[in-house]
Amino acid sequence: MEEGPQNVHFIGIGGSGMSGIATILLEQGYQVSGSDLMQGEATSRLKNMGAKIFFGHDRANIGHDTDMVVISTAIKENNPELIAARERGIKVVKRGEMLAELMAVKKGIAVAGAHGKTTTSAMIALVLEKNGLNPTVVVGGDINELGGNAKLGRGEFLVAEADESDGSFLLLPPLIEVITNIEDDHLDYYGSREAIKDAFQEFIDKVPPDGHVIICVDDANVREMEIKQTERVITYGIGHPADYMARNIRSEGLGTLADIYYKGDKLGQLELNVPGLHNINNAMAAIAVGRLLGLQFGAIAKSLKNFRGVHRRFQILGDVNGIFVIDDYAHHPTEVKATLRAAQQTKANRVIGVFQPHRFTRTKFLFKEFGEAFSDADVIVINEIYAAGETPIEGISADLIVNAITDREKRPVHYFRTAEEITDFLYEIAEPGDIILTLGAGNIWKVGTNLVERLKAR
């Protein structure tokens, strides 16, 4: 960014990626304003930090002294603030471009992949923070130990999610890349799996000669990537030979333990207070980054043992008389399947999966895969699609997913159109020992919070 104080306005400042960048700019001393449609935790936090927040989009929100406007791909061309900025000749940059500018003055650690980006980024950030490296952090969810989704650090590293959804991860200049997996998601942008893989290949090719690529080889699409200088590659996985491997994996309550090996040599035991095989893989990525930066396994493992998760990633909303209500952001079939399996591995009495499909386009492309994602749910509840700003598509509704699950599972699927109906249903069937898991990137979490309050009043 240019030298000296600036006035930066964010259109859609409450979004997970936008709010993180706004936080960094505020901590750097910039004047920050922004607009969003609704108040939330992020807008409240930014307001308390000194940002000027507007609710609703209006051309008057662009102050006379605004030097730059930041937008996400969710902002349409007819947005009145965007139109006003362009009419006045104000510089307009995309969120990905702004993150790239922040990373350019640090040593970037960028985490990419269809799933696991936020948790893996958060684990890496915590490992660096707890071991004195004082990183700058910009991730897509609030890290419990950091009290937010971003912080300005005095150290030389910047840990960030690399968002592939709109191709903006190709703008980043990372020194270290982590790739968790590659899947058919965001097909509304890419059009095909091959286009997605081509984008990830371009991302890998961006790593400088002194950089490294850390990849999860459990994922077949990742294994197919071409990396010209193999000495720069570090692999990890559970079900496929890798540099870092986890063995003797076992569940303990809502936690997971494993023995970690590097090139056949045992490093020690990893103990996590979050469940699931997917989190063992996420943690191995953090171990690989930490050891690459010179940290000892014992110190890394100690930091990861203290990891309490990320907001909306297997987040415990309440434990009421032995009924656990948990919320997770999972919105892709692979994420849903992994999260339900993690819940089942806790030896719960029943796992009750409550899923709100996210976006009409994702439902259109992946409804068959969603049909295969619920085998670990003892009770399946489906809500109507959360549009996320999309225009409805004729013939695309939650019925597609309900029918796909029914065809696969040969058992009842409970469909409810409203959150109130779901809450009433869950209240009636909940028993001690159950895990009730709300799943989705929309507002299904409200069902969980409302249910907890009702259960407390039983």
Provide the annotated active-site residues.
117-118, 161
Please report, for residues 79, 131, 147, 236, 252, the alpha-carbon distance to residue 144 in angstroms, rounded to integers and kept in the order given.
34, 17, 5, 26, 21
> Computed from CA positions of residues 432, 437, 442, 445, in that sequence, does the dihedral angle turn out positive or negative?
positive
Q: What are phi and psi for residue 200, nearest 5 degrees?
A: -65, -35
Long-range contacts of 200-204 (CB under 8 A, 24+ apart): 200/112, 200/164, 200/225, 201/225, 201/226, 202/170, 203/112, 203/162, 203/164, 203/169, 203/170, 203/177, 203/179, 204/177, 204/179
CA angle 412, 414, 419 (to 5 degrees): 170
Please report, for residues 214, 339, 422, 432, 450, the alpha-carbon distance to residue 437 in angstroms, rounded to integers and kept in the order given.
31, 9, 12, 14, 13
Side-chain half-sphere of 328: how many Cα atoms within 13 Å?
Answer: 31
Rounded CA separation 55/37 (Å): 5
3-state secondary structure of 285: helix
Q: What are phi and psi for residue 209, nearest 5 degrees?
A: -55, -30
In 273-366 the beta strands, taken as DSSP E runs, fall at 315-320, 323-328, 350-355
Give the end-to-end CA distance of the chain in Å, rounded to a whole number. 55
Please report, for residues 104, 313, 326, 421, the alpha-carbon distance to residue 339 in angstroms, rounded to integers and kept in the order given.
35, 9, 11, 24
What amino acid is encoded at 456 in this protein? K
